[in-house]
Amino acid sequence: MIKKYFEKLQIALLAISSMITTVTIFLIVVFLFSYGIKFFTNSSIEKGYDIVVHESNPIQKLSPVILQQIFDQEYTFWHEVGGNQDSLEILHFEDLPNYYTEEQIGAEFELVGACITDYLSKHPNAITIIPSINIDSSFKGKIVEVASIKFTDVFTTQKWFPTSKPIALFGILPMIIGTLLVSFGAIVLALPFGIACAIYMAEIMKSRWRKYLKPTIELLAGIPSVVYGFFGLVVIVPIIKNVFQLEVGETALAGSIILAIMALPTIITITEDAIQNVPNSVREASLSLGASKWQTILYVVLPFAKNGIITATVLGIGRAIGETMAVLMVTGNSAIIPNSFLQPVRTIPATIAAELGEAPFGGTHFQALFTLGCILFLFSMGINLYVNYTSRSKN
């Protein structure tokens, strides 16, 4: 009787443990997406500032991208942004002392609203940014509505300026392409070497050597990523710089090589286990039919162990996509769209690690980094779902 109740207690504890784990993971995902979705309800303009124009200006609303382009002087006429045919003039807030005296502005900038009103009356084609606190009843300009951050702008804009004041840009396309490029390069480098090493260990190497080599390879997976990063920075980066005659060696290729080295222990270990689990009777049947050892490995053993090899590939890709410190150290951390593996890049994990500590809690920049985390989560989940579907459909 006691044994029966003890077994029930064990089952209950296992069920509770599974439930707690599932709920915890679910809450983490909910927390991640709750901040990520809020990002698209915000405005790119810094809180406490307003965009103002002359009250006769027909412009009512502008997007953050258009505003940034206006203040970068990429537009010179209002009709280019949906206004009239007049030329476009920009007044920077810090330039006010060039037009008005300290007495006119006020010792604590309390008269800025009146100065802006006066300037707009004389320059009706002007646009400027003014602190919201300086807009009072005496202000005669028109406040331009700034559109909230759009999904399409985020995924198509190529500029990432999250701390630009007072207008920030959150184009995540360079990080997405950088992440995919570095991960793709890592898998292309790691997968052939990893599978070849696993085949050699499982099918060719003598057992007395295998029992020493396999634990050594498994230990490599426990090395901190920052150590790999130092190795890449000191060894791989200078080699790439000298071989390809580059100004800097921190490139996507350096990141791919380091990630490939980091993914190799996982790919080798899991693939070797999968090959070892192939029954000897399968090998013997193939050999008895006249197949050579290599034919048996290629056409019998590897297809039999394909699910394990797919699992190794998925875990290797997951290691490549989610790696942070090593990539941050060797890829140049430049938020540009690369044209080749020989250019600096920035990945999603590296961006989150580099900027999360400096982003104001709950602010737009903070939420943008959570959006990057959501994208990274969807990448990993998509890869796992695809591989699971592929492996099941081929069974």
Summarised one tens digit per residue, pLDDT across range 45-72 is 777 788 888 888 888 888 888 888 888 8
Please state the rounded mean pLDDT for residues 255-263: 92
Which of 170, 187, 213 is the last residue before a domain boundary? 170
Structural domain boundaries enclosing 102: 49-170
Q: Are residues 233 and 90 in the same domain?
A: no
Angle 364-393/348-355 helices, nearest 10 degrees?
Answer: 150
Q: Are residues 234 and 247 in the same domain?
A: yes
Q: What is the CATH number of the domain that holds 378?
A: 1.10.3720.10
Residue 91, classed as helix, strand or coil, is: strand
Supply the mean pLDDT for the chain.
86
Q: Are residues 225 and 290 in the same domain?
A: yes
Domain count, the chain: 2
* Per-residue confidence (pLDDT) for residue 390, from 0 to 100: 65
* Per-residue confidence (pLDDT) for residue 75, from 0 to 100: 87
Please state the rounded mean pLDDT for residues 277-290: 87
Please state the rounded mean pLDDT for residues 307-328: 83
296 assigned to some structural domain: yes
* Per-residue confidence (pLDDT) for residue 233, from 0 to 100: 92
Could you tell me the pLDDT band of residue 357, with boundaries at 50, 70 and 90?
A: confident
Q: What is the CATH number of the domain that holds 74?
A: 3.40.190.10
Q: Which of 149, 157, 114, 106 is CA-nearest to residue 135? A: 114
For residue 234, is pLDDT > 70?
Answer: yes
Are 302 and 241 in contact by the 8 Å Cβ rule? The answer is no
Please state the rounded mean pLDDT for residues 114-140: 83
Checking DSSP bridges between strand 126-131 and strand 49-53, what pairing results, if any? Answer: antiparallel
| Percent of all residues in the chain with a pLDDT value above 70, rounded to a whole number | 97
Please state the rounded mean pLDDT for residues 188-203: 90
For residue 80, is pLDDT > 80?
Answer: yes
Q: What is the pTM of this model?
A: 0.82
> Which string of DSSP letters, residue by residue, matches 123-152?
-TTEEEEEEGGG--TT--SEEEEEPBPPHH
Could you tell me the pLDDT band of residue 162, with boundaries at 50, 70 and 90?
A: confident
CA contacts within 13 A on the Cβ side of 79: 4
* Per-residue confidence (pLDDT) for residue 236, from 0 to 100: 94
For residue 108, is pLDDT > 80?
Answer: no
Which of 170, 205, 222 is the last residue before a domain boundary? 170
Q: What are the backbone dihedrals phi and psi of residue 127, each rounded to the nearest 5 degrees, phi first? A: -135, 140
Q: Are residues 312 and 186 in the same domain?
A: yes
* Per-residue confidence (pLDDT) for residue 392, from 0 to 100: 67
Other beta carbons less than 10 A from residue 118's beta carbon: 15
The residue among 3 and 64 whose pLDDT is bigger is 64
Could you tell me the pLDDT band of residue 122, with boundaries at 50, 70 and 90?
A: confident
For residue 393, is pLDDT > 60?
Answer: no
